[in-house]
């Protein structure tokens, strides 16, 4: 480690369908980091859930085939050791801040955050509970509804209840013939289907249940425009300008291919032209959701705006993409915060939250046995 520099570790990859997207995000973050301020270590989480060390991860970054590198270095680990997946983190005592950019499973669901908390290291983004809540679309919508933040009506379907929820029953329940089927805990439009009849519904539900045992069947909004807003901060978050996405007419929604494979036919408008009251309402809803879910660091929040200009909060992303076409950094760029400055701010927010959490633990005074007896006696 170089003196006077902060040592940052990028954690990327993972075992989800967003593995390759995570690698692209990590590349962009790595390239944007100021080498006068940071030393950077890399930890690639393979598709099998094993963490490669810095040297092997740099080899993959340099263009070597990931599977070939993993096949070479992983046999050197003692796989009989239950800690084998994380043994390569043994050098973390010199790391000042972790920057997890694992999209989807392991990264956004609170798993990696729990590990980093056990390691007692600062990390970018939301904590264990907030990450897990925001990753689950069903729980998110319950919290949004409880706090008065408008979102789409839906029915929750599981393998045990699928036979009870026919297309006709769901359509009647939420008063919509056009439905969207979504796995509750999945990202990047994986497993999402637009359906308008029994056959499409049955096929879409079957596919969505491959990805999760909780599936949302949502109402469709009339003639929606999809818009996104970026949030940055901890207790006092700020919101970016709002951007809009227009997908090709042949696509039903913003698909995985639109996002990460070929965005040439997708139109991005930053900032979007909306009446000031609508922009203000979206901003207020986004900041309200960020606080209600107790998020930290960053989030990209997606909305649907109906033809009558009513905004509905669609989805919360706690570790948004940082690829070349990802909207989270683009929206901040349009709002006056450069890519490099954005990275700097996220690292500082991580350190501030770590200090805050440490103070809470330091100030906490556990009850003695005598104190507990007094409480029980009072009851």
Using one digit for the tens of pLDDT, what is the confidence trace for 248-305? 554 454 445 444 445 556 789 999 999 999 999 999 999 999 999 999 999 999 999 9
Is there a single domain that holds both residue 271 and residue 167? no
Is there a single domain that holds both residue 94 and residue 162? no
pLDDT band at residue 188 using 50, 70 and 90 as cut-offs: low
Instruction: Tell whether 344 is covered by a domain.
Output: no
Instruction: Tell whether 209 is covered by a domain.
Output: yes
Q: Which residues contact 28 (CB under 8 A, 6 or more apart)?
A: 322, 323, 324, 329, 339
Instruction: Tell whether 376 is covered by a domain.
Output: no
* Average pLDDT of the residues in 132-138: 96
**Residue 189: pLDDT over 70:** yes
Q: What is the pLDDT of residue 370?
A: 59
pLDDT tens by residue, 61-111: 999 999 999 999 998 888 788 888 898 888 777 899 999 999 988 899 999
CATH code (residue 181): 3.30.1490.20
Is there a single domain that holds both residue 89 and residue 180? no
Is there a single domain that holds both residue 107 and residue 181? no
- For residues 378 and 214, which has the higher predicted lDDT (pLDDT)? 214
Q: pTM surpassing 0.85?
A: yes
Is there a single domain that holds both residue 253 and residue 296? yes
* Average pLDDT of the residues in 2-21: 89
Based on the structure, what is the number of domains in the chain?
3
- For residues 276 and 376, which has the higher predicted lDDT (pLDDT)? 276
CATH code (residue 52): 3.40.50.20
Least confident of 21-35, 204-218, 296-310, 357-371: 357-371
Q: What is the pLDDT of residue 35?
A: 93
Is there a single domain that holds both residue 19 and residue 100? yes
Q: Which percentage of the chain shows pLDDT scores above 90?
A: 75
Is there a single domain that holds both residue 157 and residue 213? yes
**Residue 346: pLDDT over 60:** yes
Final residue in a domain of this structure, among 74, 109, 124: 124
Average pLDDT, the chain: 90
Is there a single domain that holds both residue 208 and residue 275? no
263 closest CA partner among 252, 247, 251, 250:
247
Instruction: Tell whether 129 is covered by a domain.
Output: no
Between the CA atoms of 26, 140, 247 and 198, what dihedral angle is there, to the nearest 10 degrees? 130
Instruction: Tell whether 136 is covered by a domain.
Output: no
Q: What is the pLDDT of residue 325?
A: 87
Is there a single domain that holds both residue 180 and residue 279? no
Give Cα separations from 166 to 98, 241, 261 (angstroms): 46, 41, 34
Give Cα separations from 82 to 16, 50, 86, 87, 148 (angstroms): 21, 11, 9, 9, 45
Q: What is the pLDDT of residue 186?
A: 85
Range of the domain at 61: 6-124
Instruction: Tell whether 192 is covered by a domain.
Output: yes
Final residue in a domain of this structure, among 87, 106, 124: 124
CATH code (residue 309): 3.30.470.20
Instruction: Tell whether 185 is covered by a domain.
Output: yes
Is there a single domain that holds both residue 202 and residue 243? no
Final residue in a domain of this structure, among 81, 106, 124: 124
Is there a single domain that holds both residue 88 and residue 174? no
Instruction: Tell whether 359 is covered by a domain.
Output: no
Is there a single domain that holds both residue 239 and residue 310? yes
**Residue 244: pLDDT over 80:** yes
């Amino acid at each position: 480690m170089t003196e006077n520099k902060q040592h940052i570790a990028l954690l990327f990859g993972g075992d989800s369908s967003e593995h390759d997207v995570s690698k692209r995000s990590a590349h962009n973050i790595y390239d944007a980091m100021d080498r006068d301020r940071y030393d950077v270590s890399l930890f690639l989480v393979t598709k099998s859930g094993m963490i490669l060390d810095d040297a092997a991860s740099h080899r993959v970054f340099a263009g070597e085939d990931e599977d070939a590198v993993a096949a070479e270095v992983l046999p050197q680990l003692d796989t009989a050791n239950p800690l084998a997946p994380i043994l390569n983190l043994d050098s973390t005592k010199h790391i000042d801040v972790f920057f997890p950019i694992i999209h989807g499973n392991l990264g956004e669901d609170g798993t990696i955050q729990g590990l980093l908390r056990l390691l007692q290291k600062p990390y970018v983004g939301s904590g264990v509970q907030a990450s897990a809540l925001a990753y689950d679309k069903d729980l998110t919508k319950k919290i949004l509804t409880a706090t008065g933040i408008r979102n789409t009506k839906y029915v929750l379907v599981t393998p045990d209840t699928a036979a009870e929820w026919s297309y006709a029953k769901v359509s009647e329940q939420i008063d919509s013939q056009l439905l969207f089927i979504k796995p509750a805990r999945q990202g990047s439009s994986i497993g999402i289907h637009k359906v308008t009849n029994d056959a499409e519904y049955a096929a879409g539900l079957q596919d969505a249940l491959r990805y999760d045992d909780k599936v949302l069947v949502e109402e469709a909004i009339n003639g929606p425009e999809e818009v996104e807003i970026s949030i940055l901060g901890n207790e006092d978050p700020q919101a970016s300008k709002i951007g809009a996405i227009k997908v090709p007419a042949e696509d039903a929604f913003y698909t995985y291919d639109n996002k990460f494979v070929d965005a040439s036919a997708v139109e991005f408008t930053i900032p979007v032209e909306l009446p000031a009251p609508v922009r203000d309402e979206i901003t207020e809803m986004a900041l309200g959701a960020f606080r209600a879910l107790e998020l930290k660091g960053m989030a990209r929040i997606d909305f649907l705006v109906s033809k009558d200009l009513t905004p509905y909060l669609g989805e919360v992303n706690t570790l948004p993409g940082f690829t070349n076409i990802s909207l989270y950094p683009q929206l901040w760029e349009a709002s006056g915060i450069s890519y490099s400055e954005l990275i700097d701010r996220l690292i500082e927010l991580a350190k501030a939250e770590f200090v805050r959490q440490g103070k809470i633990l330091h100030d906490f005074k556990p009850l003695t046995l005598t104190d507990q007896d007094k409480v029980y006696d009072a009851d």
